[in-house]
Every structure is written in C-alpha cells, then in structure tokens.
Structure 1
Amino acid sequence: MSQTFDFIVVGGGSAGAIVAARLSEDANCQVALVEAGKQPPAEEMVPAACSALQLNPDTDWMYTADAGRAGKGLRDGRMMMPRGKMLGGSSGINYMAYVRGHPGDFDAWAEAGAEGWRYDDVLPYFKKSEGLVPNEAITIDDAAHNTNGPLGVSVRAPIIPGAAEFVDAAEAAGIPRGDYNGRERGGADGVVSLFQTTTRDGKRSSTYRAFIQGDAEARANLTIITDAHVQHIVLDDSAEAPRASGVVYTAADGERHTLTAAREVIVSAGTIGSPHLLLLSGIGPKDELAAAGVDCRVDSPHVGKHLKDHVHVALCFPAPGVGISMTEIGLSFGADALRAPDGPLPADPAEDADMSDELVAVKEEADRRFSAWASEGQGMIASSLYDAGAWFSTGLGDHHSHDAQIGFFASGYNRDLWAGCMRVDPEQYFDDVGKRLGDDAETVMLLANPVQPHSEGQITLADRQADTPPNIDMNYFGDDHDMPVMIATVRRVLDIAENWPSHRELGAPLFPPFLADKHGHAHGDTPSDALLEDLALHYAWTVYHPTTTCRIGDVVDPQLRVYGTAGLRVADASVMPNVVSGNTNAAAMMIGEKAAEMIAREHGVRLNQFVGA
C-alpha cells in the first residue's frame, strides 16, 4: 500500500492519539495514525486489571532494562519496563493516576530554554483535555480544572477506607490536604490527597477511549492503521537538510508498505520508541550509528540520551482491616474470574448446578459486584488500588519543585504478581510468603518515590533491525544525589505509618530477612540508613515514567521540530527537558494537546478550539 496524507502520526498512545484526533478535526486534513498494536482488549476498561495487561505481547512491548546500580534483587538483575502496545498506548496499561506535575517543573523547563513551556503556557492544554468530575472527598482549585473535556478524571467510588486513612496519616505527619493539580501545589510542606484518576464512571479513560473511539475513528479523513510496526522514517535529500517525507512499516502479514506525508511526520512512539525510530532512520550520534551499521543522515548526539525515570521502594505493612485481600479483589472481577484452575468455581459453567450452597453464594456475590461495576462504575475494581498520594520537599535540593512523592497501594498483591510483573522472588523477600501474600492476607504498600532524579540513562541501538528491541540502560542511582533523597523519602513513609489513625494501626514494615540479618535489624526496630540503601539497590522498582530521550533544546526545538530535519517532529514524554515531579501520563497528554495546536497554527489547520496564546 502506498498512500499520501497531510500528516502521519507514528504511535497511537498517550500523546499520539490526541495529535491525530485533534488534527483530524479539520475535514480537509488527511491524517494517518500508525500503531504497532491493536484495539485495546475489553479488560483494558477495568481499572484493577492493569497488571494483567503487562507481560502480554498484544498489549505490552515487554521491555526489560539494565537497572544500573539497582536491580540486585530482581530476576536477572533486569528492571521491568512495561510500555503500552495498542491504541491508547501506556495510557491503557498504567495505574491511572492523573498527576500534572509541580508548576515549578514547567517554569524550570522554560528557564532552561524551552520557550513557551512555562506553567502558565501549558495549563490551558491540561484543562483542554480534562473532564473532571468534582468530588467532596478532594480539594479542587476550580480555576485549574475543566469539567467538559473528553478525558475522564474522577475519584474512585466507593473510596477505600485505607486510602482515606493514608490521607489522614499524612496530614497528621505534617503534609496538608490540597489539590496537587492546583495552581499552587503547596510549599515545602507539600500536599496530600486521594488520587484524581483517568477514569469515567469507574472505567479507564485512556486516550483511545477519550479521543479516538467513536466520533474520531469514524472520520473519513482519519486513517487508523494498526498492527503496523514502523521500520524507519523516509528522509529525502534537499538543499538545506533532509526532509521527512513518509514512513515505511511492516504489516501483520509481513508485507512492507510506504506512507507519504505531504506536510509532516509526527513521531509519538514514546520515550523508548521515539529515539529508537530516529536512530533506525539515521538521526542520532554519528559514531553509534556507524557501529550499528546505520548510515548517519543527521548527526544528533543527544538522541536517546538523558533518559530519566522514577523508581520507588515499596514498604509492605501488615494491615488487618486496612489492606484489601486478593480474595476480595478476585471476587469483584465476577464469577468467570473465579473459575478453575485458579479459582474455586468449576471450570465449566455447566457444572454450576452441582455446586455447594457456599459456592453458589460466592458466585452470586461475585456476579453482583461485577454487575455493580459494569452498570454503575462502583466497586473494588473501579481503580487500580493505587488510590492516594503525597508530595513534599526533602530539603536536599531541587527547590523549584517537590522532589518526593509517596503513594498508597491498598493491597500487597500475590506470589504471581511479585514473581511476574515485579521480577522478585517472593520466597526471598518475605519471612513467611504464605502468610504475607496468602489470598486472605491484608497488607498495604506505601511507595517511597523520589521524583526529581539526577541520574541519567540512555537508549541505544542493539542492531539495525527495527524488530530488535533497543538497549535500555537506566543507570538508576548513578548520580550520588539520588540515594540520600530516597532514604529521606522512605523515612517520611515510616513517619506516615507511625501516624496512622489509632483505631486501625499498621504493623511494622516487612524487610527481606536476608537484608535484615545483614544489617542486624530486628522486626520493629528503626531501620538504619545502610539497610534502606541496600533495600533500594535490591528492590527499587520503576514507576513506569521514562522521559527526556528526545528532549527540547537537544533533539527538538521548543516547537518540537527535530533539529537538522525538515517536516519531522516528536511529540510525547521523550521531549520533556526534565521529568516532572509526579506521574507522567498527564504531562504526556498535555504535550499531545500543545503539539497539535502548534502544528495546526503552522499549517493553517482548523481545530474545533485553540486554547494557547
């Protein structure tokens, strides 16, 4: 197939789906959206099913990464690096926390040269997307929000008591309640709140669901091509610089096709995929390209460099009456989720007539819960169970922003998730894995998450084949600044746990026995800095927030145009000059909105609404 479009958008994820949807608002503008994955499966809509979308080749690129100094306790020493592979991208597999970042993050971008990216510049684009459902349980800065945008943003229903108790405990520990997405996210004292999540009526609101599904995908001028793995960008020689004139992709049947762009190619393949595609196309560090056997078309030394990500350390606390057991979670997914071999119900529904009265009651309750979620958006599965967060400054630097975040997760999960998604041997991590991760165990995790890391990693080519994943080197804790911030954040977690409401206190945190023995730690003692550092080096996990591999000022200009190449932009989290101080999906969507307007203004495309100056 060879077709010509005005614009080709590579990647239908958090930013790319928005770029394609907005540009195609002009019926005279022909847009192609090229996505390596497929339509999202039905389970993508279920917030609590997000972990099931990882390690699934239909929905996840299933990357792993070199963890640098971290990862000592992970399988093969490799960090998991889930990336969404479907329409909606990582907005379809993430834990749905809608966190924009601190206003100072964006002001710092602009002060470093990213003209037009100050907080006051980007706020209109956050608001343009947002369709917030206000809730009495959270504080809202009305002027910073919008209730009419396509992206569902809401608080889970019903609120899990443990999440509300986390907010109470953080407030008792000195972190005031507030709107963490407001125009002022607090001073050094920070802010705590239940999470605003990208959900509507208890269902996930990915960028596919919010921007593409329905009206946009029915437009005659928007061509959506799925199962299409882009091999490289076509670069034509011109008098001044190479020009991006299209892309070559491989379809599911293995056939290669070329698409031509009359105006621009917009790469929105994500922090890993976008630099990988530029490198495959000959845009990158000259010597590295030569080593991989790729002809250098544009010597751009920063492509794939400056990779940043958030890592957190999960402290597990026995929490009777607070934590949500896997039995409760499983029951809420409905009867089909409880069938053999993993559940108590018969594998064949035809055998239900022979069930005991006890199992009949289990089935009826499971179906009642699932029906309540499906019809009303209510119930245990209406969120990822990552339901509250706190932000503050450790005082160790980065005074333009909050450098620390703490998240509340209402369950300790089970063996399979620890071994699979988290790459941890639970038998090594827990003193009594049956007790700590049993189906009826009630455990919570408080996640210590420094959010202004100084360490930088990189994305490089493993070889010249597009089907070969790139090398992903995270270099966690490579900069000496980061470990003291992690230890300070963990200590704040312990402080919050100590301030838990007295009617339902948490147990002492659980440390892996081999690390406790190494550092002479007895259960219930105050952990030493050395133990906390060792814990982080063994069991810090990615928060799935890679950014900055095509950053503004090095790879792209403030209009997101690729230096040295005409007709080519990058629009996704890779262009961030620095990672924001919080979950990154909201900022990635903002980048999609802002990019669409910049492109539209430059090319005279008529959008339904322009919000930028």
Structure 2
Amino acid sequence: MADETFDVVVVGGGSAGAVVAARLSEDPTCRVALVEAGGRPPAKELVPAACASLQLDPEVDWMYTADAGGTGRGLTGGRMMVPRGKMLGGSSGLNYMAYVRGHPGDFDAWAEQGAEGWSHDEVLPYFKKSEGLAPSGDIAVDADAHSTDGPLGVSVRAPVITGAREFVEAAVAAGIPAGDYNGRDRTRPEGVVSLLQTTTRDGKRSSTYHAFLEGEPEARDNLTIITHAQVTGLVLDDGDDGPVARGVTYRGADGGEATVRATEEVVLCAGAIGSPQVLLLSGIGPRAELEAVGVDCRLDAPDVGKHLKDHLQVGLFFPAPGGGVSMSALGVAFGPDALRAPAGPLPADPADDAGLPEPLAALRAEAERQVGEWVATGTGLASSSLYDACAWYSTGLGDDHTHDAQLGVFVCGYDPQIWEAVLRVDPAEYFDDPATRLGPEAESVIVLANPVQPRSEGEVVLASDDPTAHPDIRMGYYDDPHDMRVMVAVLRKALEVADRWPGDRLGPLLVPRVLAEAHGHAEGDEPTDALLEDMARHYSFTVYHPTSTCRMGDVVDARLRVHGVAHLRVADASVMPNVVSGNTNAACIMIGEKAAEMVAADHGWALHEVVGTGP
C-alpha cells in the first residue's frame, strides 16, 4: 500500500469522513483512499443497548481522558472521560444515536459571523439528503423538514419505554410543548419536547459505516479503505504561497510506516480531537507550542486546537419503580450469553444448560425469545440506548438566537461497574447504598440537565511529538461564570419536570451522599443553589460533543480549506464556528455531505445527487 496515489485522501472514516469518501467515490473517475485508525465495527455495535460496553474498549474507542477544568471533583483523578470512536463509522458507532440537527438559529448565526453558505436554509438540504426517516405514530413530524429515502436510518425505538413516555408528559406539564424538534417546532420560544429520533433502522444502529460504506460502496474499484492505519502526519511540499498537502503518512497494524499520496486534495475528518492533532503533528499550529515539544513549525496557525467547545450534563437520579429499566431486564434483552457465569445465573458453558431448574430454564427461554425478536423485527429493549427523549427551551439568560438548554432522560440507573469504569465515579461516595440503589432489580431514571450554548472554551495541544501519544485535552469547563448560572437554572427546570412526573412514579431525588452531608441536605429537602453548583462541580459529565478546534473563520474558510495550506480541507465537528444547541452527530454528517459536494464541484466530479445551491 505504501506510496500509492489517489485523487483524494480522506483521513478518518467516522461521522463525516465515511460520508465524504462514499459520496466522492460515486464518480468512478475519482480515486479515493479512506484511511482509518480502527477497523470495521464489531457485531455488538449494531445493538443500541450496548453503548456503554463500547466505551473503554481499545479496539473501538480512543480511550481519551481530559483535564476537566472547573468540574471533575468527584471523578477519578479529576479527569473527564472523552470517548471517541476508533472504527469505520467513528463516534456514530458508539454514541447514543440521538438524531438532533440543532436550532435553525445556530446555523444562521454561523452565517452571520462569516461562514457564508452555512445558514439554516442552506444546510437543510444536506440534512435531508442523508436522512431516511421511518415515520412513527409516536412522534409529531414536520414532513417538509424530513426525507424518507436517504441512506441514514432515522426512527423512533419500539416499543416506547415507559420512563421515556412519562418524561415527555412531565415536560409538557412543565410548560414545554410536544412537537418535532428537527422541524418547525424547534423555533418555538417555549421550546419543544419529544421522544428522540435516533440513527437506527429496524432497531439496529445506523452508523455512517452502515449507512454510507457497507455493501456496494466499500466494494467500489475506485474506493480503497485502509483500516488499522493511524495517520502520523501530512506530507507537505513547499509551494510558492506556502505548504501544499500531497498526502499522509500512517502507521499500519504491523507497526510499519507507509505513505498514501493525493494528487488533488487531502480531507481531514478525524474529529475535534484528531484533526487538530494531525495538523499540529505536521507543524501547522501555534509556533511556540509546537517548538516546545520538538515539532518544526511549517505554518504558524495560532487557532489550531483552540476554541474547544463541549456540552456538559448533570444527572439527577430518581428511583422509578415501574418506569425505569433494571439491569436484570437489560441482561435478558441481550440474550442467554449475557446471563452466563461468572456474572450471571446461567452456567458458563451452554452445554450445562440441559439440567437447568425450571426458573433458570424459563429465564433462558425468555432471553432467547427477546434477542430473537430483536434480530427478526428490530423491536424490544435491545433496540434502545436507554436515552430516548429530550426537550429544548430557553432559560432567558442569553443566547437569544437559539435554545440554550436541553433536558434528557436516561431510563436506567446502570450498575456499580459502569459508574466506576465508564462514568469514573466511586459509587460508595455517590450512593448511600450502592448495592441497593444500583442492584440488578433496581428501577431508576436519570433526568439530565444539559446547557447547550457554553461560553467556556478549552484546547487540544500536543503532549509530545510522538504521533501515537494522546494529545493533552483541556476542556476548560465552567471557565466562564455564565455557564454555571445556566447550569443551575437548567437543574431547576429538571427538578420542575421531575415534580410533574405522571402518577407520582418517581421517588425522591438522590443527592450524592458526600454532598448531602457537606450541605446538611436531608432526603426530600429542596436543594439549595449552592448544593446544585457543588453537584455541577463534582458530577458534570461530558455529553460527548467536542467541536470547534479548527473552526471556520480561524483555521478553515467557509469552503473548509485550511488557511495557508493548499490542497487541504477539514470536514468534521472541528470546523463548527460554535457548537450547535443539541447533540452534534447529525450536524457532523451534514458537514460531510456539504464537504463532498464542495470538493466534487471544485474538481468536476459527478455525484449521484447535488442539493447545494451555493458557490
């Protein structure tokens, strides 16, 4: 594979990169190489309920952690987890599958700030180009805002979980009307609540690998997919006006170094962490920072890796008998193998099932039935990531162009192992009785308070000149005091929603044990603002939405071309001028669609469909 030459080299086969490579290779005369550090996704990636098990799996997760800035006091080592997908499909293969475009005002603000061609009216056709919505009677849909024939599966999970439906009812009772948050209802000042539209088809995950690459596209003669290949830097020539991108170097699965060249363009789609890292390793970034770690500066670009934005959420934990999903129920939905020893009640060896007592035989039969139903019809608990409903609204504290607040519900309390490993929280510090609160039969819900227009910024910088070393990710959470004011307000709204839960099904709020003691809080008390702020300082969690580290205007232009480097573009979450007010995956896919049309237009390649009207 070394020193092969293509027209375009795409770095990263994730949420945007898979789209760029698939779309450009629609023209058989365009030779495309897609270079991905991971491999094809494992079988469990298709199962929506398996989200948590994909994190901390080094085969599919980059395993990053970050300096948590103004939060993290309750997290292991004070470090925030930063899961990022390392496989074809990228983070669309390990996210919680919320299909959320953002508020129209987000994109109009981009355009007003100089991102020509990125207003809502101009990006809407790209959202629709991807979308293959399966209509559902469980949600309201603004038909004019959607498409049903795109490659990306979008649907509502079935059957609807009780706790998710009750969250919607509670939000409506708290003054947030139900509607289509990806349509005209998103612009209502009072906000909108709905069951989530998710990137699933027939109950299976529809990552960008499954939607755009799997099958016919990956078999095209003009598309070469190089997996298990970690890009170590750009190949840069000296041009009359500065560096010229000619390809990339990468380290293969065997540890050997190789080069793949591009006659026309290199398109970086490695995400808000990976794309700035590749630029920095290649000498494109702040001169002093590069020289401090022994990287020769080819282009002094002070904004590379800066302006990092991410969403934070604080979870409010409530017992919810009859409304939440127990870990035992989740285990049954995964099938008999998930119930085997040493963790489960079934024998480790299926050959020993012959003599099972009747209760265990019935359990095994029910597990077989549920997993079989999911495989055949896409219905059942396995089709849910357990993050199934959200609301958006404005706090009134600023950012009038959009909604600055999001509420969500997670309909399971998880178990002590997930809290400790994935969330980086010691259950013994958080819970008064972890064995009971997080026991196999416990039914709980977590109402998520999630401000979505943070003003704090972080950064991605090189920790060393070793391409295989993780970069130093500094999130900068709560650096701007405005963000804490908004978080406390959103927590108050989350409590209001919980107070209006139908049927009084929720138990009292469980305040983290160590904080309840510190603030003299007793069960049933109204939390003070000081307690809510302390919860945010200790137990805010990323919503996995890093953006803006190569943002338009500073690092790339509106056509995503890197300032000062010819033949090089960036197309992923890093180019967002500001984070959208909602989950970011849909916008990343839109960026991939728009980037592919721009590249094709510049080189005369013919895509199957062109929806853009701009230059």
Place the TM-score, normalised by the shorter chain, in its bin: over 0.9
Pair 1:393-2:364 in alignment: no
Deviations, residues 437-483 of structure 1 (Å, cap 9, x unaligned): 00000100000000000000000000111001000000110101000
Deviations, residues 269-289 of structure 1 (Å, cap 9, x unaligned): 000000000000010011111
Residue identity in the other structure for 1:585: N
Deviation of the 1:434 alpha carbon:
1.3
Correspondence list, 1:597-608, <5 A:
597-608=597-608
| Misfit runs of 4+, over 2 Å | none
Deviations, residues 257-278 of structure 1 (Å, cap 9, x unaligned): 1111000000000000000000
Correspondence list, 1:50-89, <5 A:
50-89=51-90
Residue 301 (structure 2) aligns with: 300
Deviation of the 1:505 alpha carbon:
2.2
Residue 230 (structure 2) aligns with: 229
Deviations, residues 38-97 of structure 1 (Å, cap 9, x unaligned): 010000000000111100000000000000010000000000000000000000000000
Deviation of the 1:253 alpha carbon:
0.5
SS at structure 2 position matched to 1:106: helix
Distance 1:324 1:240 in 2: 60
Residue identity in the other structure for 1:527: P
Residue identity in the other structure for 1:529: D
Residue 536 (structure 2) aligns with: 536
Pair 1:571-2:568 in alignment: no
Correspondence list, 1:59-458, <5 A:
59-458=60-459
Deviation of the 1:597 alpha carbon:
0.3
Residue 587 (structure 1) aligns with: 587
Residue identity in the other structure for 1:433: P
Residue 514 (structure 2) aligns with: 514
Distance 1:393 1:550 in 2: 28
Deviation of the 1:184 alpha carbon:
4.3
Distance 1:517 1:357 in 2: 46
Percent identity between the two aligned chains: 65
Cα contact 1:275–1:304 (8 A) shared by 2: yes
Residue identity in the other structure for 1:398: D
Distance 2:182 2:277 in 1: 32
Cα contact 1:271–1:547 (8 A) shared by 2: yes
Cα contact 2:104–2:187 (8 A) shared by 1: no
Residue identity in the other structure for 1:603: H
Residue 492 (structure 2) aligns with: 491
Deviation of the 1:517 alpha carbon:
1.7
Residue identity in the other structure for 2:329: E
Cα contact 2:185–2:192 (8 A) shared by 1: no
Deviations, residues 315-368 of structure 1 (Å, cap 9, x unaligned): 000111111100000000000111101110000011001211111000000000
Deviations, residues 290-325 of structure 1 (Å, cap 9, x unaligned): 111111111110000000000100000011111110
Residue 526 (structure 2) aligns with: 526
Cα contact 1:48–1:385 (8 A) shared by 2: yes
Cα contact 1:515–1:531 (8 A) shared by 2: yes
Cα contact 2:202–2:377 (8 A) shared by 1: yes
Deviation of the 1:186 alpha carbon:
3.4
Deviation of the 1:183 alpha carbon:
3.4
Distance 2:189 2:439 in 1: 40
TM-score normalised per structure 2: 0.99
Going from structure 1 to structure 2, the CA distance change for 1:184 and 1:115 (only over 3 Å counts) comes to farther
Cα contact 1:103–1:184 (8 A) shared by 2: no
Structure 1 runs not aligned, ≥5 long:
none
Distance 1:361 1:505 in 2: 29
Aligned residue-pair number: 612
TM-score normalised per structure 1: 0.99
Residue identity in the other structure for 1:564: G
Cα contact 1:103–1:183 (8 A) shared by 2: no
Distance 1:563 1:581 in 2: 27
Distance 2:329 2:256 in 1: 47
Distance 1:426 1:557 in 2: 46
Cα contact 1:313–1:536 (8 A) shared by 2: yes
Distance 1:409 1:258 in 2: 45
Cα contact 2:107–2:119 (8 A) shared by 1: yes
Deviations, residues 147-205 of structure 1 (Å, cap 9, x unaligned): 00000000001011111111011001000011000134133210000000000000000
Pair 1:552-2:564 in alignment: no
Structure 2 runs not aligned, ≥5 long:
none
Cα contact 1:552–1:560 (8 A) shared by 2: yes
Deviation of the 1:508 alpha carbon:
1.1
Distance 2:505 2:444 in 1: 12
Distance 2:246 2:554 in 1: 22
Deviations, residues 584-603 of structure 1 (Å, cap 9, x unaligned): 00000000000000110011
Distance 1:111 1:568 in 2: 25
Distance 2:224 2:45 in 1: 23
Residue identity in the other structure for 1:424: V
Distance 1:376 1:85 in 2: 29
Residue identity in the other structure for 2:216: D
Cα contact 2:110–2:118 (8 A) shared by 1: yes
Deviations, residues 408-445 of structure 1 (Å, cap 9, x unaligned): 11100000100010000001100111111000001000
Distance 2:222 2:387 in 1: 39
Residue identity in the other structure for 1:414: D
Two-structure CA RMSD over aligned residues (Å):
0.6
Distance 1:257 1:535 in 2: 48
Distance 1:177 1:514 in 2: 37
Instruction: Name whichever of 516-525 and 266-275 sits farther off.
Output: 516-525
Distance 1:154 1:35 in 2: 28
Residue identity in the other structure for 1:139: A
Distance 1:257 1:244 in 2: 16
Distance 2:514 2:364 in 1: 41
Residue 36 (structure 1) aligns with: 37
Deviation of the 1:492 alpha carbon:
0.5
Residue identity in the other structure for 2:368: D
Deviation of the 1:521 alpha carbon:
1.1
Deviation of the 1:512 alpha carbon:
1.1
